[in-house]
A and B are shown apart, each in its own frame.
Chain A
Amino acid sequence: EAGVAQSPRYKIIEKRQSVAFWCNPISGHATLYWYQQILGQGPKLLIQFQNNGVVDDSQLPKDRFSAERLKGVDSTLKIQPAKLEDSAVYLCASSLRIAGVGYEQYFGPGTRLTVT
């Protein structure tokens, strides 16, 4: 079974530029998550989708970050314009269901973003 795919793996941009990350979840997984992992910290949830609808985006900086999952499968996370503090690893995860006891989230390899 293929895992969660993400691209690109690495990206270097200058501040005020824009960038987009792509994620393809495990086939059949209804729920998709984007996390931000700053160096030395645990991942922090940015946004959670159930199929193509947003379930939780309370920690997404909406003035510069946006995300979509148009057909309920793959997803794109965009930052525009980028700031230095956006330098982090952006992790995508998926799970079979949205809620329930102990449902496992499967993580992709992440995209490492460096903003200079």
Chain B
Amino acid sequence: GDSVTQMEGPVTLSEEAFLTINCTYTATGYPSLFWYVQYPGEGLQLLLKATKADDKGSNKGFEATYRKETTSFHLEKGSVQVSDSAVYFCALTPNSGYSTLTFGKGTMLLVSP
């Protein structure tokens, strides 16, 4: 079945540092890929998405590129802020059939001033 693997956290960074959170996937066909963010005490929010190979999703300074050859969708940000501290989930949904999301385990990001 489909699966998503994320790097384990927590990832601890100082403000303005460069962020990478690795995500790889296993899926049949060509899924759509997502990054969701969960701030403390809140539900998941869609951060960005990509629906086909080589697409780059971007939002709020975060970027991720859909790499079919390496089955990866790594999340990056050039300069993190304290307010980016949250749990980040990589997820996929098949591009045929039902739009059920399969999530990774999540990666906690802690940014200190």
Contact = CB atoms under 8 A, between A and B. Distances in A.
Contact of B101 (A40, A43, A110): A43
Interface stretch (A69-77, A78-86, A99-107): A99-107
A91 B43 contact: yes
Given A4-B43, A107-B43, A41 B106 contact: yes
A98 interface: yes
Interface in B28-43: 32, 36, 41-43
A105 B41 CA distance: 19
Interface stretch (B11-19, B73-81, B92-100): B92-100
Contacts, number: 64
Contacts of A107: 36, 43-45
A93 B46 CA distance: 12
Nearest to B42: A109
Nearest to A106: B46
A99 B99 contact: yes
A50 B105 CA distance: 27
Contacts of B89: 42-43
A108 interface: yes
Interface residues of A, number: 29
A45 interface: yes
B4 interface: yes
Interface in B64-110: 89, 91, 93, 95-101, 103-106
A97 B98 CA distance: 9
A64 to B, nearest CB: 22
B99 A95 contact: yes
Contact of A98 (B95, B96, B99, B104): B99
A31 interface: yes
A103 B99 contact: yes
User: Closest 5 CB pairs between A and B?
Assistant: A42-B103, A107-B43, A102-B51, A102-B32, A107-B44
Interface of B: 4, 32, 36, 41-46, 49, 51, 89, 91, 93, 95-101, 103-106
13 contacts: A42-B105, A43-B44, A45-B100, A55-B98, A91-B43, A99-B97, A102-B49, A105-B46, A105-B99, A105-B101, A107-B44, A107-B45, A110-B43
